[in-house]
Amino acid sequence: MTIKPGDTLPDVSFTVPGEQGLEQVDTNGFFKGRKVALFSVPGAFTPTCSARHLPSYVEKAEELKTKGVDAIACTAVNDAFVMGAWSKSVGADGTVTMLADGNGDFARAVGLEMDGTKFGLGHRGQRFSMIVNDGVVEELNVEAPGEYRVSSAEHMLGQL
C-alpha cells in the first residue's frame, strides 16, 4: 500500500556518506522535530536526475528554507558511495542530505518501488517528492512514468 498524506514514515534505515565514513540514520531520528523536503530519484547519475531533479533542489534551497523547510534530502536505490560522489559532482554537498536506500527498503516500505529490470536497473524507487513534518507526510507528489514535473523543487515551493 502506498503511503499517503497524514501517514507517519515507516521506521527504515538509510546509509549516508559522512565525515567519518558511512553512517546509518533511521527515519525516526532524521525526520524528528523538523520539516524536510524529501525527494526520490530512480538513480544517481541518470540523465533527468542529474540534469534537472537534484539541481532544482540545490538551486531552490534558500527559497525552500525561507518557506519553513529545515532540511532537504534526496533518496535513491543506490549505495552511499555513489550518492556521495553524485552529490559532489553537482555541488549538492552541504545543501542536500543524500539518503542511500541501497537495498530499496524505504522505497518498498512507502509503496513507491518501481521495476526497472527491463532496462537493466533492477528494482528502484519511483520519482516522487514529499513534505515531511516531524515524521508525518504532509504532501506527496508521485510522477507518472517518464515524467518530471510534480516532484520538482519548483512544484514543492508552490505547496509550502
Query: 74 catalytic, yes or no?
Result: no
Burial track 35-54 (b if 16+ CB lie within 10 A, e otherwise) = bbbbbbbbbbbbebbbeebb
CA distance 18 to 95: 14
CB 100 within 8 A of CB 23: no
Going by DSSP bridges, is the β-strand pair 136-142/113-115 parallel, antiparallel, or unpaired? unpaired
Q: Give the three-class secondary structure for 84.
A: helix
Catalytic position from the list 49, 74, 99, 112: 49
Active-site positions read 49
